[in-house]
Amino acid sequence: MVSRSVPTRDAVLAVLDTVMDPEVPVLTVRELGIIRDVSVAASGVVTVTVTPTYSGCPAIRTIEDDIIAALDRAGFGGAEVVTAFAPAWTTDWIEPAAREKLRAYGIAPPGMVEAGALVQLTRARVAPSCPYCGSPDTEIRSEFGSTACKSLCYCRTCCQPFEEFKAH
Amino acid sequence: MTAPSVVGAPPDKPNALVELLLRLGDDRLVLGHRLGEWCGHGPILEEDIATSNVALDLLGQATMFLHLAGEIEGKGRDEDALAYFREVVEFRNCQLVELPNGDFGFTIARQFLFDVYAVVTLDALSRGSHADVAAISAKALKEATYHLRHSAEWMLKLGDGTDESHRRVQSALDALWRFTPELFVMDDVDREMLAAGVGMDLEQLRHEWDRVVRDVVAEATLTLPHDVVRPAGARGGRTGAHTEHLGHMLAEMQIVARSHPGATW
């Protein structure tokens, strides 16, 4: 049923706090930093502005559908999701508490994005600490992992492969 | 193929902004499709995943550029209509990206030459005056930067690797070199867009591209091929003149959409 009452912005945000990222299901879409704006029209129609993580992230359509479905279930039917490309998404928007959730889930959280030269050739970046045993004795096996946002790493202490959420 | 023209009617002047967006979108659509052909065939699992990841990024960027092109064109074509229902002569990608994958060394060398081009051009476009073009370019630039890190590292590994890998990547570079001058040809579209503050000065950017390419090629112990002089007035992919390879690629890319128009799953 489509509710005709006008929801508050906080009520909409509370619903968004229940929508998880489909590929990293320990983070909500807000924690991931992709919700850029929420507005409620006088008519009660909710508009959520989302920015994609990576251009080719195949989860973006699922995320939009999940947001609309969650709002619908909460009685805020007919919501719209609009896409904004600027400012470009960055992992710097992921808060410390959410980073801790990533680590607990077994994904090394991203470091801060470094503003380097336009064309940088040497990979100077340090491999992340192991999310399982905390050891810094790790290596980056590949910058490309199971999803666009993750790299593949290996811990030499506990001999466990793990993923890192890349700084982007 | 040219459409039959009505005597006395003024020729349709293409919208320069739409043309620019088609060039940007088609470069990425075609290269993204080529890289996708490696899926399941990569030399090692990590590279299979890497090329597929880069392909996804490029297809995502193509979606954004082509969507905007369709919107500005105003003929009701979305990114899918532009990707699947245009003919080969309507594609605006450079010839470099449509070449068949060859071996892994060829794919990496092609990718490297394109990635440097993408980084220098997107950087210029991200500072342009058209808000949407600048926003998409800024987003794509972040991805192009790590694509380049990946392809440049492989240039070093292959060039400064074994005799076999060196030989293969050198012959790839030699074969690809004659497709690079096209990237920097300024035509009416580019000049109009540059004057409008939207586009880029390709002749200027060529110096930046040259510098990076030369540095990496030298570091990889490879030899830069001799400069090729592009014949004046030569036509290329930007105006719809393609190698024989693009038609074959499009046949494969477009067949499902054309056989089952409007299909969903």
For chain A, the average pLDDT equals 90
Model confidence at A121, pLDDT cuts 50, 70, 90, reads: low
Q: What is the predicted pLDDT for the residue at B8? A: 46
**B262 or B3, higher pLDDT:** B262
- Whether residue A3 is predicted with pLDDT greater than 80 in this model: the reply is no
* Cβ-defined contact of A118 to B123 (cutoff 8 Å): yes
* Cβ-defined contact of A121 to B149 (cutoff 8 Å): yes
Q: What is the predicted pLDDT for the residue at B232? A: 74
Is B181:B228 a contact under the CB 8 Å cutoff? Answer: yes
Q: What is the predicted pLDDT for the residue at B11? A: 54
- Look up the pTM and report it: 0.91
> Helix or strand or coil: residue A8?
coil
- Least CB–CB distance from A120: residue in B120, B139, B149: B149
Residues of B with Cβ-Cβ distance to A57 under 8 angstroms? 56, 60
The whole-number average pLDDT for the span A82-93 is 93
The whole-angstrom distance between B129's CA and the closest CA on chain A is 14
Best of A50, A119, A151, A154 to substitute, by most chain B Cβ atoms within 10 angstroms, is A119
The whole-angstrom distance between A17's CA and the closest CA on chain B is 26
Q: Which residue of A has its CA nearest to B61?
A: A55
What is the radius of gyration, based on Cα positions, of chain A? 18
Q: What is the predicted pLDDT for the residue at B151? A: 96
Distances (CA, A) of B104 to A45, A67, A143, B73, B148: 51, 41, 18, 38, 16
In terms of C-beta density within 10 A (0-12 exposed, 13-18 middle, 19 or more buried), how is residue B23 classed?
buried
What distance in Å separates the CA atoms of residue B183 and residue B202, rounded to the nearest whole number? 8
* Cβ-defined contact of A56 to B61 (cutoff 8 Å): yes
Strands A35-40 vs A46-50: parallel, antiparallel or unpaired: antiparallel
Q: What is the predicted pLDDT for the residue at B6? A: 46
Q: What is the ipTM of this complex?
A: 0.85
Tokens of A82: 């609009």
pLDDT digits (tens, 9 = 90+) for A52-61: 999 988 888 8
Model confidence at B70, pLDDT cuts 50, 70, 90, reads: very high
